[in-house]
């Protein structure tokens, strides 16, 4: 059936067109959801493949991206790029906030939940500050307090 590979894009219309083209094939083949996911991931290349590999859990209709060893800034970039492919998260402020917090490393996730942010932008700001605090705590533990101008 000659399915096309997908290397990623920031244009949601192109991504949606690719999805629709492979859905036609999947419907013809009468594939179940799990098989559809496996077949679709086989067709991902380039940035789309990297994005998929950084995603760890498929929960219902949503992909939860995990921070792992990325800095908060890098995680935010990946998360925002990934949201382009999941409009149900991108277009729902509460879902976007929830998925962002759920994807953070445990210590930052705890800090974000304690702060009780009401928007995604506030959560990003607070988590960036929490990450900086973590760096300073680690530096203090090592006896290397960073120099701060008076």
| 25: Cβ contacts below 8 Å, ≥ 6 apart | 1, 3
Long-range contact pairs involving 26-32 (C-beta distance under 8 Å, separation at least 24): 28/1
pLDDT for 140 equals 86
- How far is Cα of residue 45 from the mean position of the Cα atoms in its chain? 17
User: Can you tell me the distance from the alpha carbon of 12 to that of 10, in angstroms, rounded to the nearest whole number?
Assistant: 6
Which mean pLDDT values do the consecutive 10-residue runs of the chain (150 residues) have?
Answer: 86 88 91 82 86 54 71 91 75 91 94 95 96 90 69
pLDDT for 57 equals 40
pLDDT for 58 equals 39
pLDDT for 127 equals 96
User: Can you tell me the distance from the alpha carbon of 60 to that of 132, in angstroms, rounded to the nearest whole number?
Assistant: 33
User: Can you tell me the distance from the alpha carbon of 147 to that of 41, in angstroms, rounded to the nearest whole number?
Assistant: 48
- Looking up tokens 């192109």 gives 14
């Amino acid at each position: 059936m000659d399915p096309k590979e997908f290397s990623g894009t920031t244009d949601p219309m192109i991504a949606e067109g690719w999805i629709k083209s492979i859905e036609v094939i999947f419907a013809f083949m009468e594939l179940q959801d799990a098989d559809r996911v496996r077949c679709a991931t086989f067709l991902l290349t380039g940035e789309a493949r990297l994005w998929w590999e950084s995603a760890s859990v498929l929960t219902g209709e949503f992909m939860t991206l995990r921070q792992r060893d990325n800095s908060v800034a890098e995680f935010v970039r990946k998360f925002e790029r990934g949201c382009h492919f999941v409009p149900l998260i991108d277009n729902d402020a509460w879902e976007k906030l929830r998925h962002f917090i759920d994807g953070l490393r445990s210590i930052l996730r705890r800090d974000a939940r304690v702060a009780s942010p009401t928007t995604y932008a506030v959560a990003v700001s607070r988590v960036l500050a929490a990450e900086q605090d973590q760096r300073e705590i680690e530096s203090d533990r090592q006896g290397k307090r960073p120099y701060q101008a008076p």
